[in-house]
Amino acid sequence: MGKALSWAGSFRGDVGEVAVYNKALTDAERQAVEGHLADKFGIVLASQIAATRATFTPEETSFWAYQPVRNPTPPSVKNEAWIKSPLDRFILAKLEENNLTPASPADKRTLIRRVTFDLTGLPPSPEEIEVFLKDDSPQAFEKVVNRLLDSPHYGERWGRHWLDVVRYAESTANDANAVMRYAWRYRNYVIDAFNRDLPYDQFIVEQLAGDLLPTTDDLNARIRRMTATGYLMIGPKALAETDKEQSRLDIVDDQIDVTGRAFLGLTIACARCHDHKFDAIRAVDYYALAGIFRSTEPFKDEARNSSMWWEFPLFEAPGEKPFMVMAPKETTPRNLRVHLRGDRFTLGQVVPRGFVQVVGRAFQPDSTKARVGRGSPTNGGSGRLEHAHWIARKDNPQ
């Protein structure tokens, strides 16, 4: 009994999962050990931990941000002559509510400067200004806007904002600050997506799970989808961390954090250590997502956690170097346990892979169905593709 207490007290993890522990002790002895562990060492077995709260109050479920999107009725206004589009009604109604009037219309020279700086970040040329000033047609401004949207500078200007949101950099920062030599391809993907007016739902799915979409004979589509998943590869990484599993969990945390902020406007990473203090996000929601991302591997050698991340040649032409991209690789799907207070050695219940419950139905990826990923039929999957499609749904939140 004394040896059992000594051994159990030094064990880091869930003692209840160790076969010798369950076989060597009677129920009474096991109960005594568990009480001793809790009293002296603060160790609580996973079997003793109550499920993390997954119910919601009416106040939480009725919060405006979690409601389905609806088209509101444009408000009535007094100054109907000012209205150019339904959106103007919302602006003018608020101005009139506060006894304010709209600013006077800008002159044409000011207008072309504003729109050119807004859309491309560059000033209009003297020739462009002159053409606009001389164009008296009703479509004069529309033609300027269309020209700017067709400019490659549009994607360079507005793609940069998205790259800021998804923490784009070409190195890992932190200790080693290793260079990611193909990260720039993801940057170019984003710029190109803006310039091609890529539908937003497609933009979401390609970044989160482009490598898992059905195969296609279109080489450009395959390149685009694989390159898009550079989203999962970039970001800070502690390559010198000696605890490799901790390092991987930190990468997962970064992926959850940026996905929540970029696509959902939620700080999901706050639930890594406990239920979210303000939003209706539970720790079980965090670890349901963590299982999805932990089932995807950015490194060739997970044990080393070195800068040898996955890079794939998409095609080769005679006499040319292969076209390489950074992209993740699916591994064996796994479910994670809740890490109490964020400590991976203090484990709670196993959480099936799924999604944040308050903004939609949680899903359990169907391991019995085949899905096609990177050209090879594979039984089961991480749930990453389902996750991407769920975020991109038009009826999200449900």
pLDDT for position 2: 45
First to last CA, the chain: 54
Mean of the per-residue pLDDT values of the chain: 82
pLDDT for position 300: 62
- What three-state secondary structure class fits 62? coil
Rounded CA separation 128/111 (Å): 12
pLDDT digit string, tens, across residues 274-329 = 999 999 999 999 999 999 999 988 776 555 544 455 455 555 555 555 566 777 77
Q: Identify the DSSP state of 107.
A: P
* Band (38; pLDDT cuts 50, 70, 90): low
Residue 380: which of 388, 389, 372 has the closest Cα?
372
Are residues 288 and 351 in contact, defined by beta-carbon separation less than 8 angstroms? Answer: yes
Are residues 255 and 292 in contact, defined by beta-carbon separation less than 8 angstroms? Answer: no
**Would the pLDDT of 235 be above 70?**
yes
Neighbours of 371 (CB within 10 A): 18
Are residues 289 and 355 in contact, defined by beta-carbon separation less than 8 angstroms? Answer: yes
Q: Whole-prediction pTM value?
A: 0.79
What is the DSSP code string of 274-329?
SS-SSSS--HHHHHHHHHHHHTEE-BS-TTTT-S-B-EEE----TTS---EEE--E
Q: In the predicted model, what is the mean pLDDT of residues 244-273?
A: 94
Query: When comparing pLDDT for 43 and 172, which is higher?
Result: 172
Least-confidence region, from 36-50, 321-335, 365-379:
365-379
Element of type H or E holding 3: helix 2-10
User: Parallel, antiparallel, or unpaired: how do β-strands 329-330 and 324-326 relate?
Assistant: unpaired
Q: In the predicted model, what is the mean pLDDT of residues 96-100?
A: 97
Hey, which bits of 9-53 come out as E strands?
none
pLDDT for position 176: 78
pLDDT for position 396: 81
Q: In the predicted model, what is the mean pLDDT of residues 48-70?
A: 76
Q: In the predicted model, what is the mean pLDDT of residues 61-84?
A: 91
Q: Which residues have C-beta within 8 Å of that of residue 328, sequence separation ≥ 6? A: 211, 229, 232, 233, 296, 297, 298, 310
Tokens of 141: 């401004």
User: Parallel, antiparallel, or unpaired: how do β-strands 336-339 and 329-330 relate?
Assistant: unpaired
pLDDT-above-70 percentage for the chain: 76
pLDDT for position 379: 39
Least-confidence region, from 72-86, 259-273, 322-336, 346-360:
322-336
**Would the pLDDT of 4 be above 60?**
no
Are residues 348 and 377 in contact, defined by beta-carbon separation less than 8 angstroms? Answer: no
Are residues 330 and 378 in contact, defined by beta-carbon separation less than 8 angstroms? Answer: yes
pLDDT for position 306: 47
Q: In the predicted model, what is the mean pLDDT of residues 375-395?
A: 75
pLDDT digit string, tens, across residues 188-207 = 999 999 999 999 999 999 99
